[in-house]
Copies of this chain bind each other. A is one copy, B any other.
């Protein structure tokens, strides 16, 4: 993986800070490279489903952002990014104190970027794969309200 330049990292950090959903998750960016973005968040009651595990949708929120910023990191500076679709497999209950989500670019492209994500639960110091995502992104140009900022 290639490091990004300071302007590209700033672009990602700024956009991330504008996502209310990331504040709700208490998520922080822990890795920003060319085609690879990680984020982490802690267990919290407002993120749970009925058994006290992290809700599949909240995990999707974290994975979609990780994948989205991984894709954003390989797009031109003037592009905005939108998720077209994603698919998530919930491999095990998301039981743990902390969670790490990896977004990786599988296939860059001028218009369409394909990414993959993996979510790990850290439970008493043990890391376990709990979800796998596949996310397709579109680079958006010249559309008001959708920009790279």
Residues on A close to B: CB < 8 A? 15-16, 18-21, 23-24, 44-51, 55-58, 60-65, 80, 82-93, 106-107, 111-112, 114, 116, 129, 132, 134, 136, 138, 145-146, 149
Most chain B CB atoms below 10 A, which of A65, A82, A84, A149: A84
Asked, given contacts A134-B134, A149-B50, whether A19 binds B55 with beta carbons under 8 Å apart, the answer is yes
Asked, given contacts A55-B21, A64-B57, A89-B84, whether A15 binds B50 with beta carbons under 8 Å apart, the answer is yes
CB of A112 within 8 A of CB of B87, answer: no
Q: How far is the CA of A145 from the CA of B57 in the complex (A)?
A: 20
CB of A89 within 8 A of CB of B61, answer: no
Asked, given contacts A89-B106, A136-B85, whether A48 binds B20 with beta carbons under 8 Å apart, the answer is yes
CB of B138 within 8 A of CB of A112, answer: yes
CB pairs A–B below 8 angstroms (21 shown): A18-B49, A20-B47, A21-B48, A51-B80, A51-B146, A56-B83, A57-B65, A58-B61, A85-B85, A85-B114, A86-B88, A87-B88, A89-B106, A89-B107, A89-B134, A91-B106, A92-B107, A106-B132, A111-B138, A112-B112, A134-B134
Q: How far is the CA of A15 from the CA of B49 in the complex (A)?
A: 9
10 more contacts with CB within 8 A, not counting A85-B88, A106-B132, are A20-B49, A21-B48, A21-B49, A24-B46, A49-B65, A86-B88, A89-B134, A91-B106, A91-B114, A111-B111
